[in-house]
Structure 1
């Protein structure tokens, strides 16, 4: 296992080195094209001075946009991430050359190098993706837990080329050890009791199997726990979920700065969209709705109206579904691009919300989920946010149970750098359709198996 991890790390480092070479070579090639293979020293010197900074910026955005680990990504997402990375590299290269007084750095070279970088990196990463998948192969998976069928559906719909599900064990007993032994990966659901989970983990470790665990909130609580001692007794110290006063102050300052900048950037939409909404159906451009933030406090959230007026007058609170007839034509565009969320910048400036945090929910659903999901209460330990870990890594139709785990994971890992990373990643998901997918009618596992001509043993 350690040998496999070493090989994996070697390939990852090799990939990064080759990408850095491509970034530098693209700039060099742009110089050759611009100056017909004879660039003057006066123009070439700024490139040499700024190259280390360019490499650092590329590595930072490569990490932020998820280009380090591409195995489970689609080719479209890889190319899209490269495009965003190159755009950010272009902007920062301009800033770097200005800061270093490299005014002789030709702007055409920066533009040409961006084109070369996008083309060469896209080709390289797509080929590397194919190589990674070939080396990784197709792993045999056994899923253990009552929720196994739902997990299997997600794997079959997204990653059936990486994982083959041989069996689903809903009720694990000792006589099922042979099934586990045949698998490459043991995937453990979060609905198992702690004793059974512990037994399976021990057995799987002894069999040298890869273990995937869908974490419970208790598992997340132990994440990044500090190792300490009381006399000679080893203990794990689990930190509280509440942010310190210093963290709250820094977070608030970041909220104000980012909200002011975003308001200026999106000001054309703040002017144009209300006019379009008003002209389209004559109703109010804005929509106000009561939401819940930290400590259970309620506030009025403001959005651009994307549905017909009084959409829930007869039905009461209802989640948005796919092809929802209540959504207006302009509303579909706004929801797909998240432009309907722009007015919430005023909620942030007012202090009702933060830029990053668990999404604010309506009191009706807060009460409902708190009755159905005991762990739901933990997400109100921090101020509600415009975006968050659940929005970046999940989807609109991600289950409330899974969103809670993302929210608690965010609180456990909070840092100002994490907030900045999530803010930048939000730019990426704004134009990814699946991140805004509404609730769909449930697809049965049997239908997927029949369509793909696959058989899975269920115990």
Structure 2
């Protein structure tokens, strides 16, 4: 049975409301414990005064770090997000109290309150996570595609098989699609399905109120945020140009200068430590300059901390780094896992070669290669390359170039200063997530994953 959308939204609102109450209650509990259940008016009054600011700050960080997603995240990811949210809230609360009767708000309450918030929120959100999974259930699903069929199937079997039971897998030429649609709740459509067939599938799903997930191509992405227009009484969509306006470019550059200066100042002690570590490791060069492609296919030298042995590509030439690449040094593995090797790029941003947020700059060798293999790759260089981006926050190191291109085009299409700020904060979240920085690796075959899942899956690949 499908969950009523109104009930779902009400459940979300209730969850966020309880979150806010628990955040405030945790601080009050800390006051009671530290002052033996009799907190003085002088100490507790500043806390009461800033309660609205604490709640607003929590809701912002909750959204930024992904706690607003009640279903798709794993329990481990949820707890990790809670940790980041409570730490960010601790810093924000300390900043607020510094300017609002800071000496009256005990620092011990800030510390203890953060610990209590983390524990209580973890317990509460574990219950919410479990209730969501029970309410959602495991939906019978159909995957339709051609060349990218196997890749999508493997992803669902690996990461979301507790949400979706893959019942049928077929290509777009199958004559049994209509029958399969009647027996499932959810339909996944790959980007390589013919538009006419895709239209028929979507029409059937809408008529029968079935959930549809579509991997977008450039046509679907182009329609995003399109404005309703008309020619006399004929309705039409005006597809916006891909790229930034002059005003957007100005404010984006202003943000780049501010963030890069702050980044250089804050990371200076870290950079000194990394410089010493690299020198002690093998005595080689500290920095590594490499030619990369940015806006309008211009090239520049990106600055990074060296993570590989000296002259690593002398024999191999340009190749992507693997998860267990022997060329990566011991210090380099730590720098790559935490993305600290990218920190010197703040100087590239300050200079104007890059932006803080944008498609990651790629090497000319790979750009030419990808342009031949991926038709939409050319759209990535409409804007400046970035230190971080949508593909880095939502993807992984091993995400396919095709999917990274989709993320990059979606970023350009949906650009705003608020989106940049959100992605900057979310980058902090992924810095310590191993999965986001893992190298290209061999995965289990689709057949092995199907056996491991114990699902009865019908495969219908019509070659005619």
C-alpha distance in 1, partners of 2:282/2:45? 59
The answer as to 2:386 corresponding to 1:385 is: yes
C-alpha distance in 2, partners of 1:200/1:89? 46
C-alpha distance in 1, partners of 2:183/2:301? 55
Give the aligned partner of residue 157 of structure 1.
Answer: 158
Do the aligned residues in 2 keep the contact of 1:43 with 1:104 (CA within 8 Å)? yes
Do the aligned residues in 2 keep the contact of 1:144 with 1:172 (CA within 8 Å)? no
Supply the RMSD in Å over aligned alpha carbons: 1.3
CA-CA distance at 1:342 after TM superposition: 1.0
C-alpha distance in 2, partners of 1:105/1:240? 51
1:240-259 aligned at under 5 Å gives the runs 240-259=241-260
Do the aligned residues in 1 keep the contact of 2:168 with 2:459 (CA within 8 Å)? yes
The answer as to 2:7 corresponding to 1:7 is: yes
For CA contacts below 8 A with separation 6 or more, give which structure has more relative contact order.
2
1:73-222 aligned at under 5 Å gives the runs 73-146=73-146, 147-173=148-174, 175-222=176-223
Give the aligned partner of residue 264 of structure 1.
Answer: 265
User: Bigger CA drift: 449-458 or 351-360?
Assistant: 449-458
**Which residues of structure 2 form unaligned runs of 5+?**
none
User: Bigger CA drift: 34-43 or 298-307?
Assistant: 34-43
C-alpha distance in 2, partners of 1:115/1:283? 43
C-alpha distance in 1, partners of 2:333/2:427? 19
Give the aligned partner of residue 38 of structure 1.
Answer: 38
C-alpha distance in 1, partners of 2:125/2:2? 26
CA-CA distance at 1:279 after TM superposition: 2.5
> What is the aligned length?
459
CA-CA distance at 1:173 after TM superposition: 4.5
Question: What secondary structure does 1:208 align onto?
Answer: coil
CA-CA distance at 1:174 after TM superposition: 5.0
CA-CA distance at 1:22 after TM superposition: 0.2
C-alpha distance in 2, partners of 1:2/1:241? 37
CA-CA distance at 1:23 after TM superposition: 0.5
User: Bigger CA drift: 382-391 or 252-261?
Assistant: 252-261
Question: What secondary structure does 1:103 align onto?
Answer: helix
Do the aligned residues in 1 keep the contact of 2:172 with 2:194 (CA within 8 Å)? no
Do the aligned residues in 1 keep the contact of 2:256 with 2:355 (CA within 8 Å)? yes
CA-CA distance at 1:95 after TM superposition: 1.5
Deviations 1:408-451 (A, max 9, x none): 11011111111111000000000000000110124310011123
Do the aligned residues in 2 keep the contact of 1:358 with 1:379 (CA within 8 Å)? yes
User: Bigger CA drift: 3-12 or 166-175?
Assistant: 166-175
Give the aligned partner of residue 327 of structure 1.
Answer: 328
Give the aligned partner of residue 24 of structure 2.
Answer: 24
User: Bigger CA drift: 125-134 or 439-448?
Assistant: 439-448
1:338-417 aligned at under 5 Å gives the runs 338-417=339-418
**Which residues of structure 1 form unaligned runs of 5+?**
none
Give the aligned partner of residue 236 of structure 1.
Answer: 237
C-alpha distance in 2, partners of 1:175/1:275? 64
Deviations 1:43-100 (A, max 9, x none): 2211111000110000000000010113121222111111111111111111222233
Question: What secondary structure does 2:213 align onto?
Answer: strand
C-alpha distance in 2, partners of 1:37/1:275? 50
Give the aligned partner of residue 279 of structure 2.
Answer: 278
Question: What secondary structure does 2:104 align onto?
Answer: coil
Do the aligned residues in 2 keep the contact of 1:149 with 1:168 (CA within 8 Å)? no
CA-CA distance at 1:102 after TM superposition: 4.6
C-alpha distance in 1, partners of 2:117/2:280? 43
Q: TM-score, normalised by structure 2?
A: 0.97
**Structure 1 residues 279 and 43, CA gap change in structure 2 (3 angstroms):** closer
Do the aligned residues in 1 keep the contact of 2:172 with 2:197 (CA within 8 Å)? no
Question: What secondary structure does 2:440 align onto?
Answer: coil
**Structure 1 residues 429 and 447, CA gap change in structure 2 (3 angstroms):** same
CA-CA distance at 1:176 after TM superposition: 2.4
Question: What secondary structure does 1:142 align onto?
Answer: strand
Question: What secondary structure does 1:212 align onto?
Answer: strand
C-alpha distance in 2, partners of 1:187/1:234? 29
C-alpha distance in 2, partners of 1:262/1:14? 37
C-alpha distance in 2, partners of 1:442/1:37? 56
CA-CA distance at 1:268 after TM superposition: 1.6
**Structure 1 residues 297 and 217, CA gap change in structure 2 (3 angstroms):** same
Question: What secondary structure does 2:235 align onto?
Answer: strand
Question: What secondary structure does 1:408 align onto?
Answer: helix
C-alpha distance in 2, partners of 1:236/1:99? 49
The answer as to 2:72 corresponding to 1:63 is: no
